[in-house]
Amino acid sequence: MPRVSQDHLEARRRQILDGSRVCFARYGYEGATVRRLEEATGLSRGAIFHHFRDKESLFLALAEEDAARMADVVAAQGLVQVMRDLLAGGEHPADWLGTRLEVSRRLRTDPEFRGRWAERSEQLTAATRKRLLRQRDAGILRDDVDVDVLTSYLELVLEGLVSHLAMGLPAENLGPVLDLVEESVRRHRVRASVEP
C-alpha cells in the first residue's frame, strides 16, 4: 500500500474542515448529519472520521480554529478589529457566524461541551487581556477602569454583535458603533485650558 504524504493528509483535513464549516453553519450541529457532512466535504464517512474521532471532535476543531484565528487578530489589532472583520465580511462571515452561534447554543445546553470548551475560550480572553495591558502600559488605554472589566466589556460587545447579525438586523451603521466602542476604552488626555 503506498504511503500518503503529509501534505496530502493536511490538504484532506483542510477539505473536511472547510466543507464541514459550511454544513454546520447551514444545518446546525444536530442537522449536520453524516450524510450531509459527506455531501459538503465530497468525502466518505470513513475519510472524514479517519481524521476526526467523531462529529463533536470535528465541530470542536472548527471552533478551536476560529478561536485561534480570533486570538491572533486580537493580539495584533485588538478585539474591536475582530468585530470589524466580521462586519466587513472577512473570509467566510456567514460560516464563521454559524459556528459561533452553534458554540453559544451548545454552551447553554451541553454541560460536557461547556467543560471541553472552557479552556479554549480562555485563549481569546487571555489575548484580549494581554493586548489591553500592553495598551495601558503604552498610555493608550484608559486607566480608570480595571483591565478585567474592559475585557468583559469588549467580549460582551462581541457577543451582542454576533446576536445582532444572527437575527439578520441591519449592519451598515455598525461601523460608527464600533468606533464608539473603541473610543470608550481609550485614554482621553485632558486639555489644558488656554486663557485669552
How would residue 7 be classed by pLDDT, with cut points 50, 70 and 90? confident
CATH number for the domain formed by residue range(s) 55-185: 1.10.357.10
How would residue 96 be classed by pLDDT, with cut points 50, 70 and 90? low
Is 37 a residue whose pLDDT tops 50?
yes
Choice among 43-52, 74-83, 87-96 with the minimum mean pLDDT? 87-96
Is 191 a residue whose pLDDT tops 60?
no
How would residue 116 be classed by pLDDT, with cut points 50, 70 and 90? confident
List the grid coordinates of 93. 462571515
pTM, two decimals, is 0.76
Query: Any long-range contacts for 159-167 (C-beta under 8 Å, 24+ apart)?
Result: 159/104, 161/83, 161/86, 161/87, 162/86, 162/97, 162/100, 162/101, 162/104, 165/86, 165/97, 166/97, 166/101
List the grid coordinates of 39. 455531501
> Cα 121 from chain centroid?
9
Is 72 a residue whose pLDDT tops 50?
yes
Is 42 a residue whose pLDDT tops 70?
yes
Is 77 a residue whose pLDDT tops 80?
yes
For residues 128 and 74, the answer to whether their CB atoms sit within 8 Å is yes
Is 93 a residue whose pLDDT tops 60?
no
CA separation for the pair 51, 30 (Å, rounded): 20
Q: Which of 18, 168, 10 is nearest to 95 (CA)?
A: 18
> Mean pLDDT throughout 26-41?
92
More confident residue, 117 or 1: 117
